[in-house]
Amino acid sequence: MRNILLKFCKVVEAVGGLSKVKVSRHLAKVIEPLGDKLGCDLAVLAVEGELTDIPPLKLGVIAHKGNLFAAAGFYQDDTNTRKLAEISGKLGGTQIIVDREGDRTPAWNLEISDDSEHDLKAGYSGSPAVDKTSGYVFGVVAQLISQGKGLAISIEALEKVWWGMPQNLISKSKPDTGGSKGHMNPAKQRQIERLKKELNLAENQCKELHELIELTDVEINENRNDLTRQHMLNMRKERYKQELKPYEQKVEMLLTEIGELG
């Protein structure tokens, strides 16, 4: 049986590279190590055999602002003793992380509870963040922003870095609890579905324009000795960038609107 796990690419590098990654004493194979080049620092690890000492967690894009969450991580105290500790708190709003290439990654704001015994530390990076309401992993802890506040990369980012991801690995609907309490109003659900379709179209337009810009950059590099050709290509690139802006703005607007409705 192959077990799939997530970790940060920088963590993979910190332990000495791809050949030295271990999960609970088992050697792990990094099957998707390029997340840090795509706007989100994620790696996908595969381990052959049963990991009986690691409970499986379900992944889901079903968290909501205000939900309680928990995460556990290792850290070193003042005596250099390694400890495993849990933090808890509630989810703030969502935000979009934009890298230098314009790639966008959704993320959650984490608000650590005042009564939480611990705060975010460096050792929590890469830890699964679990929505206590559903029990699903909604994100991967990324960094400390300030005391009592942190950031988690949304589990949605996994689809960006793992091209061979199995279908239905990430749940995108609230689990059925056997009752009507907490079920979304049908009219609101239809509105969200409509917005998601618009979002998908806008994201595809953004992707196509980014690809055109990248192809134009390649042509510019290939024609660096032809100033006339370069001038024409630069004008084309600028036109693509201008066409891209309204689609990027629409993506941000739709993500915000979907988040507020959800």
Domain holding 124: CATH number?
A: 2.40.10.10
Angstrom distance (rounded) from CA 103 to CA 97: 8
Angstrom distance (rounded) from CA 100 to CA 96: 13
Please enumerate in sequence order all residues whose Cβ is within 8 A of that of 69, keeping only pairs 6 or more positions apart, or say none. 63, 88, 89, 90, 91, 110, 129, 130, 131, 132, 138
pLDDT tens, position by position, 107-139? 889 998 876 666 677 777 778 888 888 888 998
Whether 43 and 73 share a structural domain: no
Angstrom distance (rounded) from CA 139 to CA 130: 7
What is the predicted pLDDT for the residue at 71? 87
For residue 179, being part of any structural domain is answered with no
Domain limits for position 67:
59-164
For residue 208, being part of any structural domain is answered with yes
What is the predicted pLDDT for the residue at 117? 61
For residue 153, being part of any structural domain is answered with yes
Whether 43 and 65 share a structural domain: no
Is residue 19 pLDDT above 70, yes or no? no
CB 58 within 8 A of CB 70: no
Query: Helix axis angle, 186-222 relative to 227-261, nearest 10°?
Result: 160
Is residue 196 pLDDT above 50, yes or no? yes
For residue 178, being part of any structural domain is answered with no
Query: For all residues of the chain together, what is the average pLDDT?
Result: 76
Average pLDDT over residues 159-170: 76
Whether 139 and 196 share a structural domain: no
Whether 26 and 63 share a structural domain: no
- Return the minimum-mean-pLDDT range out of 2-11, 47-56, 194-203: 2-11
Alpha-carbon separation of residue 128 from 11, 54, 86, 184, 186 (angstroms): 14, 13, 11, 26, 31
For residue 89, being part of any structural domain is answered with yes
Whether 128 and 72 share a structural domain: yes
Angstrom distance (rounded) from CA 49 to CA 62: 30
Provide the percentage of residues in the chain whose pLDDT is more than 70: 74
What is the predicted pLDDT for the residue at 207? 85
What is the predicted pLDDT for the residue at 1? 31
What is the predicted pLDDT for the residue at 177? 39
Domain at 246, CATH number: 1.10.287
What is the predicted pLDDT for the residue at 16? 54
Angstrom distance (rounded) from CA 20 to CA 65: 38
Whether 95 and 76 share a structural domain: yes
For residue 97, being part of any structural domain is answered with yes
For residue 131, being part of any structural domain is answered with yes
What is the predicted pLDDT for the residue at 41? 62
- When divided into structural domains, the chain yields a total of 3
For residue 255, being part of any structural domain is answered with yes
CB 141 within 8 A of CB 125: yes
Whether 80 and 151 share a structural domain: yes
